[in-house]
């Protein structure tokens, strides 16, 4: 299983997952089918995962190159058959319509009827197959009511399993709670995503620096947060993505996963045979920061405090917002009269 990480818009990521034997490809969260986010550097660098033989391709795009998803598909010599959409927001789904027009027969899947060009609605626990790649669909409401995460693994392969979490879970953070209760969000983060095997997490945004700065406010004595923040700052200086993460690491520094402790158990229902289940023991520092005890209440306060933390940063000016909208194709230039 090969994963290409494609930066788009201001800070989004979409992904191309390739089954290397059948050469079938699946795209995750097609915000735009044509233009990717311009970044300095070489066209492609490769990061090898130690001890597994698997690899990840991070695309670094020169400013003048309008790299296209379909160009990447063509260069890889694969057949793009399916789009997996995590949720209906435009920065994760807006490209579906044009891509479906360009590729007749393209299947667009997701859990929310509001998703652009949706061809079939998925349900929680449903499993899909793309060659040797299995996909387990995990409903993870919180950011939106119809948010679906996708857990992928491959038969008889050394590559670790991976979860594509959209805005449900990000590096050291999570998406804003917009449409559900704190209890539902807790279930999604801690009981659904938090009990998966401890391998790779591909999220929907490059929000790592801000997330870690907030995590440091929550747990100022957490050395894992300090080390990850130092690492993320270096990646930011070099214009290198901070994705992917691993769930095992997230449990050490992501405050939104640290509202309850974890104990190790085993199960035969998931690849790798092991996962974690929530224990009654809360993380003391996170509980102290929020002043709450019940995990869902801890999470609710964290979300509120994170929103205040973000508002304290300098807001994007209206002129800059309009320029970004124009660049992303949301606005058109006025026609001369």
Name the residues annotated as catalytic: 87, 89, 91-92, 143, 167, 205
Among left, alpha and beta (phi > 0; psi -120 to 50; other), residue 151 is beta
Q: Is 212 helix (H, G, I), strand (E, B) or coil?
A: helix
Identify whether the C-beta of residue 295 lies closer than 8 Å to the C-beta of residue 259. yes
Strands 162-166 and 148-154: antiparallel
135, 152 Cβ separation under 8 angstroms = yes
Q: Please, are residues 231 and 259 in contact by the beta-carbon 8 Å criterion? A: no
Residues in the chain: 337
Query: In degrees rounded to 5, what are phi and psi of residue 334?
Result: -65, 140
- Please, what's the b/e burial string for 104-136 (b: 16 or more CB within 10 A of its CB; e: otherwise)? eebbbbbbbeebbbbeeebeeebebebbbbbbb
The helix or strand, by DSSP H or E, that contains position 8, with its residue range, turns out to be strand 2-8
Rg of the chain (C-alpha set) = 20
What H or E segment, with its residue span, contains residue 196? none
CB 200 within 8 A of CB 213: no
CA atoms 191, 197, 211, 293: torsion sign: positive
- Give start and end residues of each alpha helix (H) in 136-283: 182-186, 208-218, 223-237, 247-253
CB of 55 within 8 A of CB of 44?
A: no
Enter the tokens of residue 80: 């793009």
Measure the CA angle with vertex 251, ends 249 and 253; round to 5°: 75
Strands 44-48, 133-139: pairing kind? unpaired
């Amino acid at each position: 299983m090969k994963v290409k990480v494609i930066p788009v818009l201001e800070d989004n990521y979409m992904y191309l997952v390739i089954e290397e034997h059948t050469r079938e490809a699946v795209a995750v969260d097609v915000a735009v089918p044509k233009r990717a986010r311009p970044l300095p550097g070489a066209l492609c660098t490769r990061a090898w995962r130690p001890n597994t033989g698997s690899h990840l391709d991070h695309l670094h795009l020169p400013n003048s190159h309008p790299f296209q998803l379909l160009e990447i598909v063509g260069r890889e010599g694969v057949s793009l058959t399916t789009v997996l959409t995590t949720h209906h927001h435009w920065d994760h789904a807006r490209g579906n319509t044009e891509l479906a027009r360009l590729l007749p027969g393209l299947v667009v899947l997701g859990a929310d009827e509001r998703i652009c060009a949706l061809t079939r609605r998925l349900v929680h626990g449903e499993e899909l197959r793309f060659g040797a790649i299995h996909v387990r669909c995990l409903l993870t409401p919180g950011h939106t009511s119809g948010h679906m995460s996708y857990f992928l693994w491959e038969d008889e392969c050394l590559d670790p399993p991976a979860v594509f979490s959209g805005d449900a879970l990000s590096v050291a953070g999570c998406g804003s709670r917009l449409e559900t209760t704190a209890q539902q969000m807790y279930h999604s983060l801690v009981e659904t995503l938090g009990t998966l095997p401890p391998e790779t997490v591909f999220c929907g945004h490059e929000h790592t620096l801000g997330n870690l700065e907030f995590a440091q406010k929550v747990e100022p004595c957490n050395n894992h947060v300090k080390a990850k923040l130092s690492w993320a700052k270096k990646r930011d200086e070099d214009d290198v993505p901070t994705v992917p993460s691993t769930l095992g690491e997230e449990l050490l520094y992501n405050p939104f996963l640290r509202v309850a402790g974890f104990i190790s158990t085993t199960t035969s229902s998931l690849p790798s045979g092991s996962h974690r289940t929530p224990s009654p023991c809360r993380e003391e520092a996170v509980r102290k920061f929020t002043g709450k005890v019940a995990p869902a209440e801890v999470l609710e306060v964290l979300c509120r405090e994170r929103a205040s933390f973000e508002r304290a940063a300098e807001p994007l000016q209206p002129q800059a917002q309009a320029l970004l909208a124009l660049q992303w194709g949301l606005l058109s230039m006025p026609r001369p009269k």
